[in-house]
Amino acid sequence: MKSLKEKILKEGVAIGTEIVKVDHFLNHRLDVKFLEEVGAEFKKRFKDDEINKILTVEASGIAVASLTAPYFDYAPVVFAKKAAPNTMTEGFYVAEAKSFTKGTVSLLRVSERFLKEGDKVLIIDDFLAHGQASLALADLVEQAGGKVVGVGAVIEKGFQGGSERLRAKGYRVESLAVIDNIEEGRIIFK
Amino acid sequence: MKSLKEKILKEGVAIGTEIVKVDHFLNHRLDVKFLEEVGAEFKKRFKDDEINKILTVEASGIAVASLTAPYFDYAPVVFAKKAAPNTMTEGFYVAEAKSFTKGTVSLLRVSERFLKEGDKVLIIDDFLAHGQASLALADLVEQAGGKVVGVGAVIEKGFQGGSERLRAKGYRVESLAVIDNIEEGRIIFK
């Protein structure tokens, strides 16, 4: 997605060799008009697929998923939670997601009421890095007996191997911008 | 907002005397089409106000704020963070928000780059309970030298005093549904 790459180059900041900071439009401040274009692009990539649910994880995935849903006939969005809230009194599916950047392991949870057998799920996230969050989300879908139609990431850090891990498990991956490398503060796309 | 009250009665679950669980459309599963109506209603309430920024807090506020922004000429949405991320390397405003339900204190942070002197800010959140999150968000706006135009909450738990606390400080509050009481599993609106 050309406009996304231009935006990353214009507004993104490379930190060290592994981190791209895009908090001007994606992770802290949200450019909603632009994220609608991102949603339209996901629709273009998955236009022939039957999708009845969009799954993401709090927090940064929520805006992207919410602004993508209108293009998929307002498919319900479900966001996995990283902590068990006091209102989550019933059963839930749970999967582990390791964060390499933070050095922590999160437990992602979705209520059993919101993922069902036969669901055709598009997984959406802001970043695809090592792929741990997406693998955990796919695990939740499959625990429920649903099918992962694909994984859509706004930005993929290609050098961290997430898409290879997902494809090795048979999942289709569509990343709207793939960063190949970060060299001396420069972001280099594939 | 009539359709919202109907939705709360139909899909909401009262737990004890203090908690209303609306995770079917607002807090875990998101009904995006309905949240667009919520956004339109906020515009109706604040139609004569000059607003150049929408501020919320992760996680559940993000969807509501993102789907409200289009009605305010795509004003940028900023969501306060509850943890300091490793990419937040520069200065930020910080304010304390106590959670009565969880018994914890969060530090809400917004980068100094995203709140400015002269900003006219609409604070949006999913719930208004004791008002601690909204008061902290208002504090962040004022630290930056901005003005809080108002606080818009989807659901207010009127019996927890948040709107009184906010109004006592001079803030305008618009709640789209005000719950007066929860009695024996029944949700009673004002």
Using one digit for the tens of pLDDT, what is the confidence trace for B71-84? 999 999 999 999 87
Model confidence pLDDT, tens digit, residues B7-23: 999 999 999 999 999 99
Contact B79/A59, CB-based, under 8 Å?
yes
In this prediction, residue A85 carries a pLDDT of 65
* Tens digits of residue pLDDT in A107-165: 999 999 999 999 999 999 999 999 999 999 999 999 999 999 999 999 999 999 999 99
Q: Measuring CA to CA, which residue among A22, A45, A52, A32 is closest to residue A129? A: A22
Q: Which of A30-44, B68-82, B94-108 has the lowest mean pLDDT?
A: B94-108
Which pLDDT score is estimated for B99?
82
- Residue in B24, B26, B30 to test binding to A, most A beta-carbons within 10 Å: B30
A69 residue type, one letter: A
Q: How distant is the Cα of A28 from the closest Cα of chain B, in angstroms?
A: 6
Closest CA to A55 of A178, A145, A151: A151
Q: Are A93 and A115 in contact (CB under 8 A)?
A: yes
With CA atoms as reference, the chain A residue closest to B114 would be A29
Is this structure's pTM higher than 0.80? yes
Residue B89: pLDDT band with limits 50, 70, 90? low
CB A146 within 8 A of CB A50: no
Chain A environment of B29 (Cβ under 8 Å):
76-78, 111, 113-114
Helices B32-45 and B2-11 sit at what angle, rounded to 10 degrees?
Answer: 140
Contact with chain A for residue B42, Cβ under 8 A = no
Cross-chain CB nearest to B62 (options A21, A62, A86): A62
- Give SS3 for A89: coil
Among A23, A62, A111, beta carbon nearest to B87: A23
Confidence label for A101 from pLDDT (cuts 50, 70 and 90): confident
B37 at A interface, C-beta within 8 A: no
Among B63, B70, B74, the residue with its CB nearest the CB of A62 is B63
With contacts defined as CB-CB under 8 Å, which chain A residues touch B42? none
8 Å CB contact of A15 and B110: no
Residue B111 sits at the chain A interface (C-beta within 8 Å): yes
Would you say A97 and A139 are in contact if contact means Cβ atoms under 8 Å apart?
Answer: no
Better-predicted residue by pLDDT, B3 or B98: B3
Average pLDDT over residues B56-73: 97
Output the pLDDT for position A87.
Answer: 62
Q: Encoding tokens for residue A172? A: 């289709």
Which of B66, B100, B102 is the best mutation test for A, with the most CBs of A within 10 A?
B66
Mean pLDDT estimate for chain A: 95
**For the residues of B102-148, what is the DSSP string, one character each?**
TTEEEEEEEETTSS-TT-EEEEEEEEESSSHHHHHHHHHHHHTT-EE
Q: Strand pairing partners for B157? A: B179
Comparing alpha-carbon positions, the chain A residue that sits nearest to B58 is A59
Q: Residue B88 has what pLDDT?
A: 60
Structure confidence by residue, pLDDT tens digits, B124-179: 999 999 999 999 999 999 999 999 999 999 999 999 999 999 999 999 999 999 99
Token output for A152: 């859509």
For chain B, the distance separating the N- and C-terminal CA atoms, rounded to the nearest angstrom, is 12
